[in-house]
Amino acid sequence: MIGLKKEAEKTSQMTAAEVYSMVRSAFDKAELKYGVIPENRILLTTFMGDDLPIKMNIIVDDMVIRFVCLLDFRAVPENFKEVAWQLNGINKELVFGGFYLDPEDGFVMFEDAFPYKEAKVSEEFILAFAKLMGQTVDKYDGDLKKIAEKVQRPFDDAMYG
């Protein structure tokens, strides 16, 4: 069948621990600062966008690498519906990933995942994907600021100086 003869070469046999080690190695080689929660295979880092710092968690699960950007504001339950609708307005323009509101704590995040079990992954890819995530958050920071004006900001006011 078309496309199946090289299927075995496309898939990764790497374990989650090996992928987590690769993520750390990529950041080490690029001399990027990060923290870790090794028991959960999480790398924590911050990139500086044009206007605001972008906090990113890179989480290696059993099948995927999740890239999660935690934004510096959170919605209160009274605003959940309005914030969710505004985030959906941004999401319809995106090619990948999505902004969402965590209903348990009200934090707004941007997330995407890469299924490393279904394709080969490299250190270069990990860094490029992390950079693309940060650039996407940075691109929509104006829209996000408008949403943030209507919600609480639990952190230092990074978005507004």
Does 155 reside within a domain?
Answer: no
50 has a pLDDT exceeding 50:
yes
Does 83 reside within a domain?
Answer: yes
**Number of independent structural domains in the chain:** 1
| Highest-scoring range by mean pLDDT, 46-50, 126-130, 135-139 | 126-130
Distance from CA of residue 146 to its chain's centroid? 21
Q: What is the pTM of this model?
A: 0.83
For residue 102, the SS3 value is: coil
**What is the C-alpha to C-alpha distance for residues 6 and 11, in angstroms, rounded to an integer?**
9
Q: Please tell me which residue, 148 or 81, carries the higher pLDDT value.
A: 81
CB atoms within 10 A of CB 114: 18
Of 2-6, 56-60, 125-129, minimum mean pLDDT range: 2-6
57 has a pLDDT exceeding 50:
yes
Q: What CATH number does the domain containing 92 carry?
A: 3.30.1460.70
For all residues of the chain together, what is the average pLDDT? 86
pLDDT tens, position by position, 59-114 = 999 999 999 999 887 788 888 889 999 999 999 999 999 999 998 988 899 999 99
Instruction: Look at residues 19, 11, 48, 13 and name the one whose alpha carbon lies nearest to residue 137.
Output: 48
The residue whose two tokens read 């958050």 is: 137
The whole domain housing 40 covers: 11-148
Does 6 reside within a domain?
Answer: no
